[in-house]
Amino acid sequence: MAEQEITPIEAASRQRLDKWLFFTRLTKSRSIAQKAIEGGKVLVNDHRVTQPSHALKAGDVVTLSLDRRDVTVRMRSGGSRRGPFEEARLLYDDLTPVPVPGERLTPFEQATREPGSGRPTKRERREIDRLQDGWGDGDEE
């Protein structure tokens, strides 16, 4: 059985899955990426991958199940370091579907609210108190 030879160009375009997840800032650390992969929370081209050393190539679709949402991205290229978000964003295309209004929300999403709605924040309460300080203190005629 003949082994396939990998050309230097192909080798440069391939990257370990755990490293790539770390470089793209989809996970906070490489060890967290490894645990997610081993825990079966990562799909590559719709196939569950359990090896952190799985080689990704450009065009592969990676689906990662995070705590509160699922992220789907297409690999553009491999990274060489964990850089700023703007640099990491160039390594993939985001394919995550936009949530449909009225779609069932997770408990975390239900607990969050729009800024300015509901109970006033501490800052807003201070502004209200500042406005009310001068009212009703003097003689009323």
Q: Are 52 and 37 in contact (CB under 8 A)?
A: yes
In a domain, residue 65? The reply is: yes
The full DSSP string for 67-102 is SS-EEEEEE----SS---HHHHGGGEEE-PPPPPTT
Any residues with CB less than 8 A from the CB of 124 and at least 6 apart, and which?
A: none
In a domain, residue 37? The reply is: yes
Domain count, the chain: 1
Q: What is the mean pLDDT of the chain?
A: 82
What is the per-residue pLDDT across 51-106, written as a single tens digit (0 to 9) for each?
999 999 999 999 999 877 889 999 998 888 998 999 999 999 998 888 777 666 66
Name which of 15, 7, 6 is nearest 79 in CA terms. 15
Find the domain containing 49 and state its range: 9-99
In a domain, residue 42? The reply is: yes
In a domain, residue 136? The reply is: no
CATH number for the domain spanning 75: value is 3.10.290.10
In a domain, residue 24? The reply is: yes
H/E stretch holding 133 reads none
Q: Are 38 and 27 in contact (CB under 8 A)?
A: no
| pLDDT higher than threshold 80 for residue 107 | no
| pLDDT higher than threshold 60 for residue 28 | yes
In a domain, residue 44? The reply is: yes
